[in-house]
Every structure is written in C-alpha cells, then in structure tokens.
Chains A and B, each alone.
Chain A
Amino acid sequence: QSVLTQPPSASGTPGQRVTISCSGSSSNIGGNTINWYQQLPGTAPKLLIYINDQRPSGVPDRFSGSKSGTSASLAISGLQSGDEADYYCAAWDDSLNGYVFGTGTKVTVL
C-alpha cells in the first residue's frame, strides 16, 4: 500500500483544466522534492515534472506542478486526447529510506 495517495481517476473535455492531487506526510513530500511521471498506455513511464515544478525539455507548459506542505498537485491545462494516461507522483521517504510512488491517477479525455 503506497504512502502517497492520489485519486484513482480524473477526467475532462478537450481544452479543460484537470488537477491531480498527491497527499503524503512529513517524511516524504513534506521533507523532499516531488516528481511526476506520465505513463501512456502500453509504454514506459516518462518524467513529466521534477523538483516540484520543473519541466524537462520537451514537456509542454500545459503541464505544471506545485507543492505545499505535505501535498502536491499536477495541473494539465488545455487538455488534449494525447494526455490520456496514468500519472504518478513520487518522492523519497526518509522513514522508509526508499523511494515511493503514488497510487496513480488515470486521466480520461471525454
């Protein structure tokens, strides 16, 4: 059972804004940076956001990340059909002395 909790699903129509939450604790999100990964159907995960709010080269600015206390959020604006994927938050956990992934959120474009 993951220590980072995400909603199992999120959806929106094309062009809408969707937000995904990630709830943790002081030993993970509260004390370390958060990263987000996108997994398109049938493919390997891809780094989407790193160090809370940084985008790797090639990731559109429609994707943005934020962190406050022991929670974090990923926002997708201008939703597109190609954004249909599973999204995972992740962080180092000082208590577990290991890396933890969130439970994952499936984004559907209606």
Chain B
Amino acid sequence: EVQLVESGGVVVQPGGSLRLSCAASGFTFDDHTMHWVRQAPGKGLEWVSLVSWDGGSTYYADSVKGRFTISRDNSKNSLYLQMNSLRTEDTALYYCASAMSSYMDVWGKGTTVTVSS
C-alpha cells in the first residue's frame, strides 16, 4: 500500500525549533519529488517547500524562506522539514505529499504543529 506517515508535530514556544519527518512506503521513493504543505486551523492549503528526487534542488514559500530547511534521505525513504525561528503563524497541520510530475498524487494524514507560549 502506498503510504506517507508524518511525525514530529508538537507544541513549541515562539522562536523554537522542530524537525518534522515523513516516512514513505509502497512506492519508489527516490523517483518522486516531495512536498510539504500546511493548513492553519480553519484556513486553506499553503504550499511550504519541495525537494527534488535527489535532494539537489529545493524551493520554499516566501513565508518560510530562511527559517525552514527541507531534506530527504532516500536510503531511509524519508523526508524532513527542519523548522527554526518558529512563529505563531506557523501553527498548522503539516502534510507531506509525493509528486511524480507537477501534481501531488499521494498525501499523508498530517502532523500538527502548535507554536504558542
């Protein structure tokens, strides 16, 4: 079964750091570009970042550029998001998604990040 499982979401104080993980199974992980997408409570979807199949190219939304770092370990079929200098507006459900081309065809169920003092 094709599956993505996110983990690492917790409650963290403003200014803090956190690393999210996404474990992939059931498909050839290193054939796929990987994305992080977030959804603040009651709000729409916001794209966060993507990493190419080999980790050689990364892209970020302006809202997280310079604070978040996306990476992957193809030997572990895993995707990561290092989140630094967290702000209250980073509070959201974070999804990882895989993409063979320009579209995200498989999504995880998400992990919740809450930034609050």
In the bound complex, residues from chain B placing their C-beta under 8 Å from that of A45 are 37, 45, 95, 97, 104, 107
- Whether A44 and B110, one on each chain, are in contact in the complex, defined by CB atoms closer than 8 angstroms, is yes
**Number of residues on chain B facing chain A (CB within 8 A):** 22
Q: In the complex, which of the residues A50, A99, A103 contacts B50, with contact meaning CB atoms closer than 8 Å?
A: A99
In the bound complex, residues from chain A placing their C-beta under 8 Å from that of B103 are 33, 35, 47, 50-51, 90
- Whether A44 and B107, one on each chain, are in contact in the complex, defined by CB atoms closer than 8 angstroms, is yes
Contact A47/B105 with A98-B60, A103-B44 known, Cβ cut-off 8 Å: yes
Q: How large is the interface on A (under 10, 10 to 19, 20 to 34, 35 or more residues)?
A: 20 to 34
Nearest CB on B from A17, distance (A): 24
- Whether B102 and A104, one on each chain, are in contact in the complex, defined by CB atoms closer than 8 angstroms, is no
Is B47 part of the binding interface, using a Cβ–Cβ cutoff of 8 Å?
A: yes
In the bound complex, residues from chain A placing their C-beta under 8 Å from that of B46 are 101
Contact A99/B47 with A44-B108, A47-B103 known, Cβ cut-off 8 Å: yes
Nearest CB on A from B71, distance (A): 17
Most central of B35, B45, B103, B104 by chain A CB within 10 Å: B103
Is A109 part of the binding interface, using a Cβ–Cβ cutoff of 8 Å?
A: no
Nearest CB on A from B46, distance (A): 7
Find the B residue at minimum CB distance from A35: B103
In the bound complex, residues from chain B placing their C-beta under 8 Å from that of A33 are 102-103
Listed A/B pairs (15) with beta-carbon separation below 8 Å: A35-B103, A35-B104, A44-B108, A45-B95, A50-B102, A50-B103, A88-B45, A90-B47, A92-B102, A97-B59, A98-B59, A99-B35, A99-B59, A101-B47, A104-B45
Q: Which residues of chain A have a CB within 8 Å of any CB of chain B?
A: 2, 32-33, 35, 37, 39, 43-47, 50-51, 56, 86, 88, 90-92, 96-104
The 5 closest A-B pairs by CB, nearest first: A50-B103, A104-B44, A99-B47, A35-B103, A101-B45
